[in-house]
Amino acid sequence: MRALVYGLAVAGVSTASALQRRDWDVITGDDVVNAERTSIADRLGIDLLDAPDFEKLRSVLADCDILCPAPGIPEHHRVIEAARATGTEIVSEIELAYRWEQERTGGPRPMLAVTGTDGKTTTTLMTVAMLRAAGLSTVDAGNTETPLVDAIDDDHDAFVVECTSFRLAWTRDFRAEAAAWLNLAPDHLNWHASMDTYEAAKARIWAAQHDDDAAIAFTGAPDVMRRLRDAPGRQLTFGPGGDYRLDDAQLVGPSGLIAATETMRRSLPHDITNALAASAMVLETGLADTSAIERALGDFTGPAHRLERLGALSGVEWYNDSKATTPHAAAVAIRAFDDIVLIAGGKDKNVDLAEMAVEPERLRAVIAIGETRDAIAAAFAGVEVVETTEFLPAAIERAVELARPGTTVLLSPGCASLDQYRSFEARGDHFRELAHQQGVC
């Protein structure tokens, strides 16, 4: 069996190594071949194609059983077009891992899955915390530091898979016993050919479910609810009026009380929504009970860079939400506070930024930064104070001047980081460092 793995970043390297461990013949390729990637290929003992053209790819794929594109390879890339021309199956790393797990001696272990435009990481980690509180060994895999092809080789009881559209697009059999779709908003339109193909990729999270699996959707997302009607599994909802919902400051489900919000370490609006989704997954599969959920929520602090509280300065709270790389995610963060100095902007992802500005009354001021600073300023034209500056340090200094006791200074960019930073993590780390230099603690 022969595979072309295209793209030698984290997921690509793990996929190539996992294929080799299963005695596949592997060849790799990348659009950018540098010393690091050449060294990786040499270490693995495999050929590395340097930015091959369409004809070269078609020739190589004619002798391959599968193409495994790295998550960063868009659906209109020439390697995808070459695979379609040769009829070569396109398989993501979560699809490969799922197929291998079905062949496991002793049988496959449970998988839970999370997708959505925003909130995937927090909900995934919250689900992991609930399973661990129930005494299970588990891991967050997929769009995390641990690709699923690596996780299945470890001794776990269950897996929680964070599913991006990039990974779901190239699945056929991938199935989770419980799968939650959190929301849908325009994003990654530089990767997908259209919003339609983005939505269709997300919908793959339910497509292979069995009739006793749980398909879980957010009541506040009309497009997700529309897709739920076609899900083959048991159709369940969370959010206002849903099967899992907030009722008098309590999380409740079909069987009654799950946990009181006062027992949650974090209970901002998005924390409650994510907790409902995670609770639905673990309860519907029977992998955890309400006591485990309550313990997990009592300790859960959330991931770095997603509404991460940095501290306070002179009565002003500071939050790092660098992971909010879409307008939808930034809007969720803005709804969590009532008096905000917002720092927003970054790299343009070709999406409408107006969604960020739907509740301008919450904003004391907006400081727009980065490549999209003028577009951000235009979106927030209704806010009394809107200023632009290119770089984050100047924005921090101005935020200190504009904030008053009771204000929240919020970095929630609504845009990617790649205009100035290598990742949203690097941007958030810089914001944290600058805030602490100002005396935030």
For 177-195, what is the HEC assignment? CEEEECCCCCCCCCCCCCH
How high is the pLDDT of residue 303? 86
Pick the CATH number of 308-437 from 3.40.30.110, 3.90.190.20, 3.40.50.300, 3.40.190.10: 3.90.190.20
d(CA 130, CA 101): 23
Domain edges within the chain: 2-91, 95-299, 308-437
Residues linked to residue 340 through DSSP beta bridges, in sequence order: 363, 408
Question: Taking the chain, what is the end-to-end CA distance rounded to the nearest angstrom?
Answer: 56
Assess whether 436 carries a catalytic annotation: no
Q: Are 238 and 228 in contact (CB under 8 A)?
A: no
d(CA 415, CA 426): 14
d(CA 118, CA 274): 10
**Cα dihedral 72→168→191→149 (10° resolution):** 0
d(CA 78, CA 441): 49
Assess whether 323 carries a catalytic annotation: no
How high is the pLDDT of residue 220? 96
Check 120, 192, 305, 430 and give the catalytic one. Answer: 120
Check 34, 56, 183, 188 and give the catalytic one. Answer: 188
Instruction: For 252-276, give one letter per residue: b (16+ CB within 10 A) or e.
Output: bbeeeebbebeebebbbebbbbbbb
CB atoms within 10 A of CB 278: 33
CATH class of the structural domain 2-91: alpha beta
CA within 13 Å, CB half, 414: 33
d(CA 325, CA 76): 22
Q: Which of 161, 184, 426 is nearest to 305 (CA)?
A: 426
State the sign of the Cα–Cα–Cα–Cα dihedral 36, 37, 43, 48.
negative
Check 56, 77, 143, 192 and give the catalytic one. Answer: 143
- The yes/no answer on whether domain 95-299 falls in CATH 3.40.50.10170 is no
Q: Look-up: residue for tokens 């519907």?
A: 284
CB atoms within 10 A of CB 374: 11
What tens-digit pLDDT sequence spans the chain (441 residues)? 999 999 998 999 999 999 999 999 999 999 999 999 999 999 999 999 999 999 999 999 999 999 999 998 999 999 999 999 999 999 999 999 999 999 999 999 999 999 999 899 999 999 999 999 999 999 999 998 899 999 999 999 999 999 999 999 999 999 999 999 999 987 777 777 888 999 999 999 999 999 999 999 999 999 999 999 999 999 999 999 999 999 999 999 999 999 999 999 989 888 999 999 999 999 999 999 999 999 999 999 888 999 999 999 999 999 999 999 989 899 989 999 999 999 999 998 878 899 899 899 999 999 999 999 999 999 999 999 999 999 999 999 999 999 999 999 999 999 999 999 999 999 999 999 999 999 998
d(CA 293, CA 282): 9
The pTM assigned to this predicted structure is 0.87
Assess whether 143 carries a catalytic annotation: yes
How high is the pLDDT of residue 349? 81
User: Both tokens of residue 402?
Assistant: 């504009």
User: Both tokens of residue 425?
Assistant: 């993590």
